[in-house]
């Protein structure tokens, strides 16, 4: 069958967003049209490509097999477009970054703004989600991760180390006696992650303290930092976030000081794309500079 590229683009959009309506919004196509095109593909291949479930459209075995071919076609089209554009001058087109919400809220906005200033024809999309991104399904062009993956056809580059400390608002600390040891944390309200929703072991910060109970928990680090900022309790906070949150003060910095790392993860096939290579270089350099700048302010 001579499958048209437009049909494969629709297939990829549904596979990545698991919804006809979400795929339609991305492609600016009516959901009914998306459904008809998928039905046409399925009829052409003689096999269902998706299984409808309460959570959306999931790839069948046949859909999984087609996914690999469709991604390679997509890659070939991007290679051709990049070669025709050339690799000099400013970057253009669209690039999507996936990132955990701590870096997405407190680091990447200013880094991406500077890249956008240097490349006015470039559209940058930042997807901030507390989960692992699937680069095989091309949910993003590249991902900022807190630990290096150990499976898949991926390339990994360490970006930078960053520090975290216990912190509370000055308003909160005025209400209670001085905290001079970890034992003094007992009886305080603790802010942290929902334990069974920690998607990466590197985010299990409180396991390195004597804290036994988390009173205010969220899967979002931004929610946690807002709780700490408004005086709701004590939590582990990124040093690079402290300059953005007025009134925060580190607690027991000599007893609790955590170091974690950011990694840039890309699909192995993307190493051939000079456009993405140039963007990755700018992103890594920008993040390294921003982590150092913000940590120096704390």
CA 260/CA 164 separation, integer angstroms: 8
- Same domain (yes/no): 175, 248: yes
Residues 130, 102 contacting (CB under 8 angstroms): no
CATH number of the domain that residue 249 is part of: 3.40.190.290
- Domain range for 107 is 90-160+261-295
pLDDT for res 88: 56
pLDDT for res 202: 87
- Same domain (yes/no): 172, 254: yes
What is the average pLDDT across 290-295?
97
E-assigned strand segments in the chain: 50-53, 56-59, 92-99, 121-128, 142-145, 154-169, 190-192, 216-217, 234-238, 248-251, 257-267
- Same domain (yes/no): 10, 144: no
Total count of domains within the chain: 3
- Same domain (yes/no): 167, 23: no
- For residues 40 and 271, the model is more confident at 40
- Same domain (yes/no): 122, 234: no
pLDDT for res 290: 98
Read off the pTM.
Answer: 0.75
Identify any residues that bridge with 238 across adjacent strands, giving them in sequence order: 164
- pLDDT over 60 (residue 24): yes
Q: pLDDT (tens digit, 9 = 90+) per residue, 167-200?
A: 999 999 998 888 999 999 988 999 999 988 888 8
Residues 20, 57 contacting (CB under 8 angstroms): yes
CA 261/CA 227 separation, integer angstroms: 24
- Same domain (yes/no): 198, 268: no
- Same domain (yes/no): 60, 11: yes
Residues 228, 235 contacting (CB under 8 angstroms): yes
* Last residue of one domain, picked from the residues 69, 84, 99: 84
CATH number of the domain that residue 65 is part of: 1.10.10.10
> How many residues comprise the chain?
298
């Amino acid at each position: 069958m001579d499958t048209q590229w437009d049909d494969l683009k629709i297939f990829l959009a549904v596979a990545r967003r698991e919804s006809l309506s979400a795929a339609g919004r991305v492609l600016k196509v009516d959901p009914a049209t998306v459904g008809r095109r998928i039905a046409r593909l399925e009829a052409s291949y003689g096999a269902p490509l998706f299984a409808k479930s309460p959570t959306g459209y999931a790839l069948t075995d046949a859909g999984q097999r087609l996914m690999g071919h469709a991604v390679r076609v997509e890659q070939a089209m991007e290679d051709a477009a990049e070669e025709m554009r050339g690799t000099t001058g400013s970057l253009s087109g669209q690039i999507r970054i996936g990132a955990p919400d701590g870096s997405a809220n407190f680091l990447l906005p200013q880094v991406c703004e500077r890249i956008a200033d240097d490349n006015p024809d470039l559209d940058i999309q930042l997807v901030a989600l507390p989960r692992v991104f699937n680069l095989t399904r091309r949910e993003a062009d590249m991902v900022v991760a807190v630990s290096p993956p150990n499976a898949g056809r991926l390339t990994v580059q360490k970006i930078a180390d960053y520090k975290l400390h216990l912190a509370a608002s000055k308003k909160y600390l005025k209400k209670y006696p001085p905290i001079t040891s970890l034992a003094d944390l007992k009886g305080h309200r603790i802010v942290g992650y929902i334990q069974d929703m920690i998607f990466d072991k590197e985010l299990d910060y409180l396991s390195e303290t004597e804290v036994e109970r988390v009173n205010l928990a969220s899967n979002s680090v931004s929610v946690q930092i807002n709780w700490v900022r408004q005086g709701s309790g004590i939590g582990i906070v990124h040093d690079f976030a402290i300059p953005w949150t007025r009134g925060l003060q580190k607690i027991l910095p000599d007893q609790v000081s955590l170091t974690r790392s950011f990694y840039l993860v890309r699909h192995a096939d993307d190493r051939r794309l000079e456009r993405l290579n140039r963007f990755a270089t700018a992103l890594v350099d920008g993040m390294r500079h921003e982590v150092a700048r913000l940590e120096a302010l704390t």
